[in-house]
Amino acid sequence: MTFARHLLLAACALGAVVGAFAGEAEIRKNLPARIPQFPPIDEVTKSPVPGLYEVRVNGFQIYYTDEQGNYLLQGNLIDVKARKNLTEERVEKLSAVAFDQLPLKDAIKIVRGNGKRRLAVFEDPNCGYCKRFEKDMKTVDNVTVHLFLYPVLGPDSATKSRDIWCSKDKGKAWSDWMESNVRPATAAPGCDTAALQRNVEFGRKYNITGTPTLIFSDGTRTPGAIPAEQVEKQLAASIN
């Protein structure tokens, strides 16, 4: 390749980089100026669509704009050819949680069988879907479940979570309530419930917006009360 060819390629590459930075600078300047209530911008990146930029705010909230910040879109960017929700995939990647980074000391540890497989679950004691999920989970064996009480559905959820967390046998208090509607005894004064607040803060940080939310040992996150058969499949996949 000739020197002139090398020089041309370098110039093109430099132009692309300069263009990208110019677009980001314009967006960072124009959006807040035109929308004073717009949140602080965490990151600006090019989207797969030419001329369209991704603007990330509040950790996981995604907007799209042009390189001048003249237009603003909120919603899902769909790759119709690949049949993929690019926005959803991006949010999942941004909010991914490595299993070893979970604050397991703030969870109730429930061991079934040999406990070799691992699963973390965020649940609210007043969540109907969680109750259905817990009943289905009775058929899943050889697993250690790290249950994070996640009281986000109201004041009574916080009360029940407190009483369960402060029970002498936390796992039994949880299963008695979720499976048999046996309300836990009122917590004794002075019980340390700081873990519950830490769970809520952790969930907000990592965009856990509903219950139940499952996190498998490979970091895969699955929202919703999935059936036991799917739990088994994902547990098997997470250790392969």
- Classify domain 99-238 at the CATH superfamily level: Glutaredoxin (3.40.30.10)
Query: Which pLDDT score is estimated for 6?
Result: 39
What pLDDT band is residue 21 in, cutting at 50, 70 and 90? low
Q: What is the pLDDT of residues 206-222, one digit of tens each?
A: 889 899 999 999 988 88
Q: What is the pLDDT of residues 159-206, one digit of tens each?
A: 999 999 999 999 999 999 999 999 999 999 999 999 999 999 999 988
Q: In sequence order, what are the beta bridge partners of 223?
A: 213
Reply yes or no on whether the pLDDT at 85 is more than 90: yes
Question: Which tokens hold the place of 77?
Answer: 């960017």
What rounded mean pLDDT belongs to the chain? Answer: 89
- What does CATH list as the number for 3-94? 3.10.450.70
Every domain of the chain with CATH number 3.40.30.10 lies at 99-238
Q: In what order do the strands lie in the sheet with 61-65?
A: 41-46, 53-57, 61-65, 72-73
Alpha helices in the chain (DSSP H): 3-34, 86-94, 128-137, 155-165, 170-180, 194-205, 228-238
Every domain of the chain with CATH number 3.10.450.70 lies at 3-94
Peptide bond into 212 cis (omega under 30): yes
Reply yes or no on whether the pLDDT at 15 is more than 50: no
